[in-house]
Amino acid sequence: MKKKKNRFLVVLVALILIFIIAAVSLGIPLYEKYSYGKETADLGEHYGVSGDMSAIILQNDQIPFQALVRDGRCYFDLDTVKLYLTEGFFYDPSYNGGTLMYTTAKETYEVTDGATSYSVSGVTTDLGYALTLRENDRLYVAADYLRMFSTFTADVYEAHVQLRTVWGQTHEMRTVLKDTQIRERGGIKSPILREVEEGETVELIEAMEDWSKVKTSDAIIGYIENKRMTSADPYTDIAPIAPALPEYTTVRLDTKVNLGFHPIYGTIGNDTIGEALGEAQGINVIAPTWISLTDADGGLRSFASADYVARAHAKGVKVWAVADNFNYANENGFDIDETALLSDTPRRRQLAADMVRITAGAGADGLNIDFENLPESSGEYYVQFLRELSVLCRQNGICLSTDNYVPFNYNSYYRLDLQGQFVDYVLIMGYDEHYPSGGEAGSVASIGYVSNGLNMTLEKVPSQKVINAVPFYTVLWTTENGSTKGQYITLVNQNDFMSRVGQTPVWDDTTAQNYAEWREGTTLYQIWLEDTQSITAKLNVMNTMDLGGVGAWRIGYGTPDAWNLLRLYTYGQ
């Protein structure tokens, strides 16, 4: 019996050992599978930053830019500033060894590289910290200085900066029920971003079945199990106090603008003012092409005349002096490097001052900038030129307007959205949809081209600042042996021309123009007429948009009926 009992005990112990071994072998994997991971994420690796650089969390998303945190102070690089905070800054690396500028409605603030002070209107103010820093060949601007010009908050944490630029949103909140962790991804094995304590409140970003994406009070975005949280009162953010910047005031007419461009090619051309006003009945603004760039140093040729202004004023018509970048250059057969001119701060500012001096000296009411075919490289410099010019015009009571192409992606660097902030009128040249040197026959200004162009403009510019200019001309197209050429014909001459060629045009609904085509031998002729019908169609579209006015290119091309249509559009009678 004793042997049997011992044998039983041996078997029992063996079975228990087998059970224990089996339990351990199964339990460890199960424990490893179902237990919470202890791995802690390195925040620098998590955000992709090192050294003095910090990730930027804009609202609830990490953006592909980094902030520089130096001596506890946050700096944003200029690209970040322009994309997310304000586009008002302009940097000239050559001016005074490198100068950051911000032009308001009244003046320009300047900071030289690395300086602790800024200057404005001859007054220097020291803020006691570096306003800009240069790091890795990038310019960084102190957030504290930026707050003088933009409304935002920037909270600095261990490896990231919480940047907020949107306000008034209501955020859904959650309260943490017991100590837990916020993890990189949903899942108990995901690396821990940080510990979260019982009673802590987090913002719900995205709710899911078992885990939810949340943001902690120190702007760490990750995932917490739903069972660890309960609902909390919603939170509505409030915007900080906005900087006290001067408002942009405007110099505008009390009624719609009815403008006629008046080409002046020499001082003797000013003598035609009487004839011009006699033709363009109903206009309230005449725009003589007086000022033209002569070189990349900012030289100007001027035909400005105080007598011309006096004669226009006597007829109740205002004068806007036109300044262009092409007439003198075209006459003399050379190109002007606008990028070199406008990127040079002393020359750019002198150019603006000279234009205002000429305009004011003649007693003109406005200045119209007609800078065409600017290269894309000139874009930011042209905008800064207009900013600085607008300050001078505002100080002198001069109405500032600009001539612009119908907006497309390829000319977006003219920045109608920014022009609309500080220019009094943005004139759209609603023509040259097709032009002789373009090599393709078509309408000069179809109704779709005009209406689409205005719709795109109104997305960027307040409607009452927009003037649409209509063409008082068309193009006769000839196509022979696959080659297309164009020849301009004015409204004054086109009826006589159509009579001479014996053609009767037919109305085309697509372009809202009268159209004719015919052949002479192997040559195809095509013409899309601009006449009272086509102009009426354009004005009808404009009437639905509450625009600031209408313009016409040009005096000398129009018929009495065409000018009368513009008068009716302007005054309604």
Per-position pLDDT tens, the chain of length 573:
555 556 666 666 666 766 666 555 555 554 456 689 999 999 999 999 999 999 999 999 999 999 999 999 999 999 999 999 999 999 999 999 999 999 999 999 999 999 999 999 999 999 999 999 999 899 999 999 999 999 999 999 999 999 999 999 999 999 999 999 999 999 999 999 999 999 999 999 999 999 999 999 999 999 999 999 999 999 999 999 999 999 999 999 999 999 999 999 999 999 999 999 999 999 999 999 999 999 999 999 999 999 999 999 999 999 999 999 999 999 999 999 999 999 999 999 999 999 999 999 999 999 999 999 999 999 999 999 999 999 999 999 999 999 999 999 999 999 999 999 999 999 999 999 999 988 899 999 999 999 999 999 999 999 999 999 999 999 999 999 999 999 999 999 999 999 999 999 999 999 999 999 999 999 999 999 999 999 999 999 999 999 999 999 999 999 999 999 999 999 986
* Residues forming CATH 2.30.30.40 domain(s) in the chain: 167-236
Distance of alpha carbon 360 from alpha carbon 366, whole angstroms:
9
- Determine whether 363 is exposed, middle or buried from the number of CB atoms within 10 Å of its CB (0-12, 13-18, 19+): middle
- Position 31 scores a pLDDT of 45
- Position 8 scores a pLDDT of 63
**559 contacts 543 by C-beta, under 8 angstroms:** no
The verdict on whether omega for the bond into residue 554 sits within 30 degrees of 0, i.e. cis, is yes
Work out the angle between the directed axes of helices 560-571 and 532-543 (0-180°, nearest 10): 10
Q: Give me the residue label for tokens 């045009």.
A: 505
45-160 folds as: Copper Amine Oxidase; Chain A, domain 1 (3.30.457)
Three-class HEC string of 439-477:
CCCCCCCCHHHHHHHHHHHHCCCCHHHEEEEEECEEEEE
Distance of alpha carbon 61 from alpha carbon 84, whole angstroms:
13
**Helix (H/G/I), strand (E/B), else coil: 308:** helix
Query: What class is the 257-472+531-571 domain?
Result: alpha beta
* Residues forming CATH 3.20.20.80 domain(s) in the chain: 257-472+531-571
**177 contacts 229 by C-beta, under 8 angstroms:** yes
**516 contacts 529 by C-beta, under 8 angstroms:** yes
Task: Among 3.40.50.300, 2.30.30.40, 3.60.150.10, 3.40.50.1220, name the CATH number for the domain at 167-236.
Answer: 2.30.30.40
Distance of alpha carbon 256 from alpha carbon 99, whole angstroms:
41
Contacts (Cβ under 8 Å, ≥6 apart) of 247: 105
* Residues forming CATH 3.30.457.10 domain(s) in the chain: 45-160
Distance of alpha carbon 291 from alpha carbon 369, whole angstroms:
9
> What is the number of other CB atoms lying within 10 angstroms of the CB of residue 235?
13
**Sheet strands (E) in 84-228:** 89-92, 99-103, 108-112, 117-120, 123-126, 132-135, 138-142, 153-156, 160-164, 170-176, 180-183, 192-196, 201-207, 211-215, 221-225
- Determine whether 403 is exposed, middle or buried from the number of CB atoms within 10 Å of its CB (0-12, 13-18, 19+): buried
